[in-house]
Structure 1
């Protein structure tokens, strides 16, 4: 049997996590401007939605986004295989199976984090997906579920899935609590245990291991590279997107560009989308954090938040926000 394709190691160093309601195609196109070398991920899409839903919307993909992965949810190998094939044919560079989301809706559908307790099923699903498409199939998972704090159980899950042909794992380095915590609390309350991800890489060096969870600064992200193949940023990349640019420059080289220069590099995409009938508010919601922590950042957000939903709003509103933000910097100087 032909071994499944692998992801070039350089493409794993920096990535942006799949985030529901956030990492749509507009967000990913913006992140690509900021970080030419980062690997990007879609929001999680259920296999049934890919098969039966509006693929034009669900699988929207701009040419600038590559390399970009489609994250799937589901637990039926045949359906996941069909959705994986559709995703690969749509142009995605990787198909990622979600084994980490803890929401009630996900549990009711028997997918997401609850799959951590069904390694054989995940292995069957991964094998079916690999057989159905010609791009790498990867898994994003937690360390365990609820009170599962046994290393051997976690290692057995990884080994079972690896035996099915998956050699790339994104490890959200905390447990998922299926009862008693909201999805937001599940991202913050269960303690982080990066050492398990590090141990996994140390004891299974043939696997590609990316660390995810709680990474908020350049130093934190960089430290993970000493122990794993990559660091995946989540909310930090969304709320402070300039961090993503700084990491890309630090790890891959290239000039450090100003926030204004980066945003203007995004203009051709924005104007093309506006010409297609997309409302500005659907695009600018992803750039509100660009000036996070900077003087004038609040004014930048306010101009866009108040104006982007109005009929006829166009790029001139973004320029207005940039000009107002620049006036704060000038006043400070």
Structure 2
């Protein structure tokens, strides 16, 4: 199991851990915050029950500070998700620790997607992400993780979602080591670099790419021709298509997640075919602010698995 996802520990010169290997489970929802707030809260409770107690110990305050996640902090974040009615964005960030290298994180960006004040050409989506250390997968196995991902997904009216091996780093702390991050991502094409806030500002109803677990809902699934069309196009060994309901499906590429080490293997056919199916709706215009790529390089990175 541990061979598929490399051990990654990126430290600053003074020894601070700012990024590490893990898994991310993300969803993008074409709904306003107030329409999904309670579903987001239920999904968070599922996540909390699945991870070790007290795994989340800090949160990002409205002023941008890291604050201990005590009872008062939980109440603040509960109100932020369930009770605050004003504004155009709802941001909740919960972390394992106050530094950049924590394994367990929860991040939510609620939007009013039809808000006329959004600057053009932004096309926002409400989004949520849950992260795990690779050790969680090693301990519990890929089928347990997939079952947990499905349990969380069933709460959410997503348009697109995915689970993937990833470089985990809180609040963009990886930026100080962006050259090392780029080197890792260039070698391991299956690794994701979650940037939920930036991605959710523009992804709309598009897909971010092909992943081990790829969740397709409305309106994206309809644009792809529906379940039967997707299933027919992905009739390959090792690929499964499972319905959550009439509006949502999960496509699983293989029994377990892979980092796709370019020094050891070519891109597996299921990933290439999944990229081909999603190609007309792939999200290419992700913001490059803070990334170790220019816009052209990022576009190539986002369609890397279709080569």
Q: TM-score, normalised by structure 2?
A: 0.32
CA radius of gyration, larger in? 1
More helix by share: 1
More strand by share: 2
